[in-house]
Amino acid sequence: MEKIIESSEVLESATLMVQEEVARRCVAMNGTADFSSLTVFLQYFATVKYGFLVPPKCFYPAPKVESAVIHLLLGKRFPVADEERFLLTMRTAFQHRRKMMKSSLRNLYAPEKIEAALLHSKKSALARPEELSLEEWVQLYTYVSTC
């Protein structure tokens, strides 16, 4: 998927078949168990739509997992000044998804700065990575990188 995202200058969209579990992660909403760094990454670079389920019986030999079709409409929805730093921030937080954001990001930013950014976004100072939507991730990053 990263290669497709990297090709967004020459591609408008992509339709992919992936394991159903991966498809759920691609379209997950914040606050759900399926919401992950993959979700934020893909939704930052594309509008992701769940297509349909493809049962194992459609393949020979039949796999032990279900598949699903997703559609990516490529294009950044909320551009940030330093994309690499934004992605590093987000991935670092999700590496410790059970920790509070101010703890998981302490190696990148002062905990007080993270707490202030969360409160600025109307989130709890005790928030965890999966609680923030893509837009809130962009707001948090913009706040910590400019203040």
Q: Which domain CATH number covers 36?
A: 3.40.50.150
141 token code pair = 């990053």
Cα–Cα dist 13/53, whole Å:
20
Cα–Cα dist 112/102, whole Å:
8
Cα–Cα dist 19/24, whole Å:
9
Query: Tens digits of per-residue pLDDT, 69-123?
Result: 999 999 988 889 899 999 999 999 999 888 999 999 999 999 999 999 999 989 9
Of 74, 108, 126, which one is at a domain's C-terminal end?
A: 74
- The whole-number pLDDT of residue 9 equals 86
- Say how many C-beta atoms besides its own lie within 10 A of residue 2's C-beta: 9
The domain in which residue 138 lies consists of 83-146
Of 46, 74, 102, which one is at a domain's C-terminal end?
A: 74
Cα–Cα dist 12/90, whole Å:
25
Residues 109 and 136 in one domain: yes
- Say how many C-beta atoms besides its own lie within 10 A of residue 90's C-beta: 22
Q: Which domain CATH number covers 126?
A: 1.10.8.100
Residues 52 and 113 in one domain: no
* pTM of structure: 0.88
- The whole-number pLDDT of residue 94 equals 95
Residues 69 and 91 in one domain: no
User: What's the total number of domains in the chain?
Assistant: 2
Query: Tens digits of per-residue pLDDT, 18-71?
Result: 999 999 999 999 999 999 999 999 999 999 999 999 999 999 999 999 999 999
Cβ(1)–Cβ(64) under 8 Å? no
Residues 88 and 64 in one domain: no
- The whole-number pLDDT of residue 26 equals 97
